Homo-oligomer: A and B are copies of this chain.
Amino acid sequence: MADSSTNMRLRLPLLCIILEVILIILFGTLVEYNHDTDAKLWNKNRTGPRNDYENEFYYRYPSFQDVHVMIFVGFGFLMTFLQRYGFSSVGFNFLIAAFSLQWATLMQGFFHGMHHGKIHVGVESMINADFCTGAVLISFGAVLGKTSPVQLLVMAIFEVTLFAINEFILLSILGANDAGGSMTIHTFGAYFGLMVTRVLYRPNLSKSQQRNSSVYHSDLFAMIGTIYLWMFWPSFNSAITNYGDPQHRTAMNTYYSLAACTVATFAFSALVNPEGKLDMVHIQNAALAGGVAVGTAGEMMLTAFGSMIVGFLAGTISVLGYKYLTPVLESKLKIQDTCGINNLHGMPGILGAVVGAVTAALASKDVYGDGLQRVFADVETGKWSPESKGGFQAISLAVTLGIALFGGLVTGLILKLPIYGAPPDTHCFEDGLYWELPGEEEGHNELHEVATPNEVEKLNS
């Protein structure tokens, strides 16, 4: 089913090996254990039994593992909803995530983790690398089924780099708060991906339309992804907040936001269907928007009440987006968004940024007490005021959108070069191009023969 144009035999190994060798060399040159992972540093001046429970590992590792599950199982299985693209969904997700987390360690370290010329790594850098990887996987959702693994790796190279730059501007220069990444991860990943897919617009994608849909069991596999993302989102948003009350509060705010979002999703999914039937696309995706939308404000004193309002809005917006906006984006703006990332990450990410700006602008010593500077680190500088903080949060959103769209444009143009083995319009959403497919059980040998004999003949020639 593969012709030479999509043959990965040289392209993929060559790119993978070159990239990994570069990574290894750069790690060898630049990366060092940080204070909590280094045998010498952690045990320095040890007098009596050291309080090992103060090692950052015990504060963050359980959250890290939850985030890790979201990245590899959550994103990976969420995208298995396509009937013939399950291997690629989980598999390419696996590949580009494994690459991106290494590259992100370097890029994020380079921009905001250098100590005397070295990048220091530990559990926090692992979480941040996974976060950056999340943005790449969001963008993957937009181009799902229409790209070769080589294209995806190239996209990851650029996106990770630009992610690190944007994150540096937001967190280090503008001093923005964005612990759960409404802006840095979701808004960035979504609009980067949407711009890439716009540039890669395929006018004849309808030729693969029959595969651009789910079957019964593929939808159940996708629900594995959905539920894991949903359950562990509280860990995601709280993974790198300050210790103590912020981490605890963020997890709880996210929990309530998601619960309200899910109820709203079911409500609107039934409402927009003429027969009142629920749509798996909404349940799989929109129910998660509540996690996105409290990604910035979750660590603040948003309250359960505020979180639930935000979650309810996010679920509503997301379902309506799937129903009414996605078709328009495709027909009018030529944005072919396979997973509907605009509805799950784009609009809810912007909502999250706005909620974050407003919540920050309402912060006060009255409400936060001595905890104020544990949420807003820049309080200590004295230049801080709630209003200016809210303003910087808003500016951060604009910067993010700008870098994402511009970066997506450039990356899209690079990905358009005809050298990556992208699938033809007739064979998008098809595992058979890049994977050895197993045979079928007796009596089922017709299962994957959607391609007509003619097409197969042509491709095999």
Contact = CB atoms under 8 A, between A and B. Distances in A.
A32 B439 CA distance: 53
Most buried by B among A8, A121, A258: A8
A160 to B, nearest CB: 13
A133 to B, nearest CB: 10
Copies in the complex: 3
A86 B55 CA distance: 42
Given A245-B42, A248-B57, A24 B371 contact: no
A235 interface: yes
Interface in A212-228: 213-221, 223-224, 227-228
A203 interface: no
Q: Which of A8, A217, A276 has the most CB of B within 10 A?
A: A276
Contact of A39 (B95, B249, B263, B274): B249
Contacts of A68: 231
* Interface range, A side: 35 or more
B245 A55 contact: yes
A80 B216 CA distance: 12
Contacts of A210: 442
Contacts of A17: 264, 267
A116 interface: no
A61 interface: yes
Nearest to A103: B259
Contacts of A270: 8-9, 12-13
A444 B83 CA distance: 12
A59 B53 contact: yes
What are the 6 tightest A-B residue pairs by CB atom distance, in nearest-first order?
A9-B276, A39-B371, A40-B369, A52-B244, A16-B267, A98-B262
Interface of A: 2, 7-13, 16-17, 19-20, 23-24, 27-28, 31-33, 36-44, 46, 50, 52-59, 61-62, 65-66, 68-69, 72-73, 76-77, 80, 83-84, 86-87, 90-91, 94-95, 98-99, 101-102, 105, 121-123, 126, 149, 210, 213-221, 223-224, 227-228, 230-232, 234-235, 243-249, 251-252, 255-256, 258-260, 262-264, 266-268, 270-271, 273-280, 283, 287, 301, 303-305, 308-309, 312, 367-372, 374-375, 434-444, 446-450
21 contacts: A2-B275, A8-B276, A9-B275, A27-B308, A39-B246, A46-B370, A52-B244, A62-B65, A72-B230, A73-B227, A87-B278, A90-B223, A91-B223, A94-B230, A101-B259, A102-B308, A121-B252, A123-B251, A278-B434, A278-B436, A280-B438
